[in-house]
A and B are shown apart, each in its own frame.
Chain A
Amino acid sequence: MIGEKPRGLRAHLPVIYPALMLGIFFVVPFGTMVAVSFFHRQPGAFYLPGFELGNYRALYTALFGRVLVFSLFLAGLSAAVCVSLGFPFTYFITRMQRRAQVVWLVILLSVLSLSEVIIGFARSLLLSRTAGLSNLLVWLGLMDQPASWSPGFMALLLGICYLAFPYTVLVLYPPLSRLDPARPEAALTLGASPLRTFFTVVVGSLRNAIVAAFVMVFVFTLGAYLLPQLLGRPQHWTLSVLITDQAIYQSNMPLSAAMAIFFMAVSLLLVALTMYAGQEKRAAGP
């Protein structure tokens, strides 16, 4: 029964409802957004149907370019931090007893499910003057008086890494837990040091998984919307903030739709390039 071809309407019955739901509520909204990006802006209302390229032309400004570059830079940097910390972390977890693994996974999932609002709030508290980490340092005698470390670029980077770290681990978990334990053991038996085994055998055989994880985390952090507002200064606002601002506060849906589509195109292009580079490397490697 499994794997045969569906025949007649009856066999197709189960798939009709999901297809309709996804079609109406995902494909159509997406199409609407593409259409709106060509519409004319109507002050006071949302938009007037039409076709013009003015919204895309309006993207060509210094502000948009600066914000785009900053968003990509921030996402790239935090993805690099998360993957380089998350990879050894995930490796250690996958080598634990099953029961310990479950405990760690529950902690990671709980942190992962936290809203950006909550993370931003918790981070800004931790870096604040009245309730923050600096009080602990004062109490330990390492600092003279409590200081405020938020908002700022470091606070923002910390917050985004905090947001993305559990996600990174969960992306790396499947390939790492499927890694045959015999491989690193063989390297150890042959006399390689644990550190060398880790870098040559574990990292080496999972290079593609690392590239894929970097891409996933990169796209994930591009979506950060609240943290830049809570932990950063206005010059640290990302494209997600700009798009929402145009859509909600400036009521300029056509422009924000054009921004969103351009944003998506750029991120998909970067993802494709990274994937391509990863494959090239594998083809060239041993």
Chain B
Amino acid sequence: MNKALRYIFLGVVLAIMSGPLVVVCGVSLNAKKRLFFPPEGLSLRWYVELLTQSEWLIPVKNSLTIATSSSCIALSIALPLAYFLWRYRVFYARALFTLGISPFILPPVITALGFLSFWVTTGLYGKMIATMISHAIFFVTLPLVTIALGFESIDPAIVEAAETMGADSRTVFRTVIFPMVRPYMISGYAFAFVLSLNEYIVAYMVAGFTVETLPIKIFNALRYGYTPVMASVTVVFVLLAALIFGLIGRFGDLPKLLGALNPENN
């Protein structure tokens, strides 16, 4: 009885979560330029349009460029900071870590407005580089937290063993520490990448009128007339996110990345 109730509850939540996606998926298959569900006629023409019309291709390219480079910058900030924090436990490293987490905790509109006033003052408002750096700072939390977790998982005895055998600190980092932290770096990069692809308000505030990313394009399309291409973009996005997180789940330790069973907190 109790078990049945539990499954019903889980099933209802799953249905509510996937409901909108099912409708969107159906709409994207409409044969005519109408948003019907169930779809009238089946065709993949809206997926073809997404990949051939420059109206959609440019935002796709912008979003991919921004997501790729901003997560690289985020990673480059997070890795040395997490390393420093792990190796030397000093208060200013803790303070920097807190600083790196705060963009994610504040309401995004506040961070976005900060970026806007900064880029207006420096004259880079409306440039793609502004969006890249803003996204890198906005999402630095994700690689920072995952990589810090990676460093925590290293057994100090292994590092000591390497040092006793005569390795200098550069060699220890290159041959022992780095390989152990690498999976966490990849996950952190993937988290930042997916969220950057989907981010709207920072990209809009910083360069919304000149650098159109995909979410901005979808919102503009929503305002000025619906087209099933929006639905096909959504489907591609969901599949991409599911693929990336699925790979992390398959090859990485997803429960641990999300904070499960950390032995020191037990």
Contacts and interface: CB of A to CB of B under 8 A. Distances in A.
Contacts of A130: 34-37
Contact of B88 (A5, A166, A173, A178): A5
A216 B245 CA distance: 23
B37 to A, nearest CB: 3
A30 to B, nearest CB: 5
Interface in A121-136: 121-123, 125-126, 128, 130-133, 135
Nearest to B246: A106
B211 interface: no
A131 B118 contact: no
A173 B37 contact: no
A125 B27 contact: yes
B205 A122 contact: no
A4 interface: yes
B2 A1 contact: no
Contacts of B120: 46, 253
Interface stretch (B49-57, B178-186, B192-200): B192-200
A11 interface: yes
A250 interface: no
B117 A14 contact: no
Contacts of A223: 107-109, 201
Which of A111, A131, A178 has the most CB atoms of chain B within a 10 A radius of its CB? Answer: A131
Contacts of A261: 110
Task: Classify the secondary structure of A's interface with B.
Answer: helix
A74 interface: no
B208 A248 contact: yes
B27 A131 contact: yes
Task: Classify the secondary structure of B's interface with A.
Answer: helix
B215 A17 contact: no
B114 A29 contact: yes
Contacts of B201: 223, 225-226, 240, 244
A62 interface: no
A17 B109 CA distance: 26
A57 interface: no
B89 interface: yes
Given A25-B133, A29-B114, A109-B245, A14 B83 contact: yes
B166 interface: no
B76 interface: yes
B254 A3 contact: no
A260 B201 CA distance: 14
B236 to A, nearest CB: 11
A117 interface: yes
A3 B88 contact: yes
Nearest to A131: B37
A19 interface: yes
A103 to B, nearest CB: 7
Interface of B: 2, 6, 9-10, 13-14, 16-17, 19-21, 23-24, 26-27, 34-37, 73, 76-78, 80-81, 83-84, 86-90, 92-93, 96, 99-100, 102-103, 105-118, 120-121, 133-134, 136-137, 140, 156, 159-160, 163, 169, 172, 194-195, 197-201, 204-205, 208, 215, 218-219, 222, 230-231, 233-234, 237-238, 241-242, 245-246, 249, 254-255, 258-262, 265-266
Interface string A20-50: 0110011111101101100000000010000
Interface stretch (A85-93, A200-208, A273-281): A85-93
B20 A18 contact: no
Contact of A117 (B83, B222, B241): B222
A85 B13 CA distance: 9
Interface size grouping (class) on chain A: 35 or more
A27 B118 contact: no
A28 B122 CA distance: 11
Given A18-B81, A178-B262, 9 more contacts: A14-B81, A15-B84, A25-B118, A121-B230, A125-B20, A131-B27, A131-B36, A223-B109, A230-B222
Nearest to A242: B109
B146 to A, nearest CB: 13
Nearest to A75: B107
A264 B20 contact: no
Contacts of A46: 120
Nearest to A222: B107
Interface in A88-130: 88-89, 92, 94, 98, 101-103, 105-107, 109-111, 113-123, 125-126, 128, 130
B241 A113 contact: yes
Contacts of A243: 109, 113
Interface in A164-207: 165-166, 170, 173-174, 177-178, 180, 194
27 contacts: A15-B80, A15-B84, A22-B96, A25-B133, A25-B137, A26-B137, A27-B99, A29-B118, A92-B9, A101-B260, A103-B249, A105-B258, A113-B195, A113-B245, A114-B198, A114-B237, A115-B200, A117-B215, A117-B222, A118-B218, A121-B222, A122-B24, A125-B27, A178-B265, A225-B200, A260-B113, A267-B107
